[in-house]
Structure 1
Amino acid sequence: MDFAKELISLYGYFAIFGLLVLGIIGLPIPDEVMMTFVGYMSSIHILNYQLSILISFLGALSGMLVSYFLGNKIGKPLLDKYGKWIGLTVKRLETVHHWFNKYGPWTIVFGYFIPGVRHVTCYLSGMNEMKMKKFLIFAGAGAFIWCLVFITIGYTIGVI
């Protein structure tokens, strides 16, 4: 986390955007801690609160889009070809597809608050060929709420 703090201190909004893209794709970056730090930096007027939320939202959404496309273009063909080797039969894949069509959009929104789930839901959305418009609505809502909550927590901690 010290590395992320240093990057944000040096490069500001560019670092926030880049770290969130990489973190959402799945690199081990402590996103929640980083967002709280961004909120704290906003409370002491090093960063702008509204701009921090906007840049964080764009970084998170960009990472989700990359994950979606990777899941769609690479993950789905790999599962179709090699899924049987890890026990994912056609019937099991259909069950997952049905479940994801029913609950997947809300899993994207609420999964943002569960480390690990946030990363997997985007790949699953792409693998299950969720419509892009639907994905953007739910991913955007989840990203905005998540950014707002954690940056506000950090901001509040800094003000107290």
Structure 2
Amino acid sequence: MEQFTEVFLEFINSWGYFAVSFLMALENACIPIPSELILGFGGYLIFIGKMSFSGALFWGMVGGLVGSLFAYYVGKYGGRPFVDQYGKYFLMKKSHVDSAQHWFDTYGISAVFFSRMLPVIRTFISLPAGFAGVNLYKFVFYTILGSLPWTALILYIGMALGENWQVLRTIGHEVSIVFIILMVIVVGILYFRRKQKR
């Protein structure tokens, strides 16, 4: 996908919110287009006044949800054999699907939430959720809950970096790790505070 970077950037620059939504849908439908590229450049466009933060966030979330639902239904109705046989035509790596499957097997439906902030896994986690036929409403809820902070964070960082937004393309994985650590700390603090009140 690296060779198409300039095409993607020109698409976003020309088509704005629609392009952000469309490319986020592709990414979440297991087409390996980095969200750091889409949302990072979206943040830059917010920085120069071509987009609003709320608009980019909304359409990025809409696209992400549509793509996730597509992958979920592919997993539900096609199953793992279908994905293994035809996934290569859509640039899906079996190892990436295996990693997402491992996360889902280990953590169940909650993996749909946490994996939205992890490199690679966030793109493919909808497939094993579909394989397992998890409740659709729970899937949508955890997808939105997990995607919202990540989408907002990358847009904000792209906006804050301004002209240097492309730094995100090299530190995207590190941002994911730091974000997960912060989320675990926050959840832990809230849990212990709640326990102390009881």
**Where does residue 12 of structure 1 map in the other structure?**
16
**Where does residue 152 of structure 1 map in the other structure?**
156
1:129 aligns with 2:142: no
What does the per-residue CA deviation read over 1:90-120, in whole Å, with 9 as the maximum and x for residues that have no partner?
xxxxxx79x8477133322221222321122
Distance 2:60 2:44 in 1: 14
Give the alignment's TM-score, normalised by structure 1: 0.80
What does the per-residue CA deviation read over 1:120-152, in whole Å, with 9 as the maximum and x for residues that have no partner?
210000101110111011001111111111001
**Where does residue 83 of structure 1 map in the other structure?**
none
- Say what the alpha-carbon RMSD is for the aligned residues: 2.3
Comparing 27-36 with 10-19, greater Cα deviation is found at 27-36
Post-superposition shift, 1:14? Answer: 1.0
For residue 29 of structure 1, the aligned residue among 25, 33, 36 is 33
Q: Secondary structure at the match of 2:108?
A: helix
For residue 54 of structure 1, the aligned residue among 52, 58, 67 is 58
**Where does residue 113 of structure 2 map in the other structure?**
109
Taking structure 1 as reference, are residues 28 and 20 closer, same or farther at Cα in structure 2, changes over 3 Å only?
A: same
Counterpart mapping for 1:55-94 below 5 A = 55-75=59-79, 78=82
1:43 aligns with 2:47: yes
CA contact (8 A) 1:39 1:150 kept: yes
Distance 1:107 1:119 in 2: 12
Distance 1:11 1:75 in 2: 35
Stretches of structure 2 that go unaligned for 5 or more consecutive residues are 84-100, 165-198
Q: Which has the higher contact order (CA 8 A, sep 6+)?
A: 1
Provide the identity percentage: 28
Post-superposition shift, 1:24? Answer: 1.2
Stretches of structure 1 that go unaligned for 5 or more consecutive residues are 80-95
Give the alignment's TM-score, normalised by structure 2: 0.66
Distance 1:36 1:78 in 2: 33
CA contact (8 A) 1:76 1:127 kept: yes
Distance 2:38 2:124 in 1: 20
AA of the residue aligned to 1:45:
G
Post-superposition shift, 1:43? Answer: 1.4
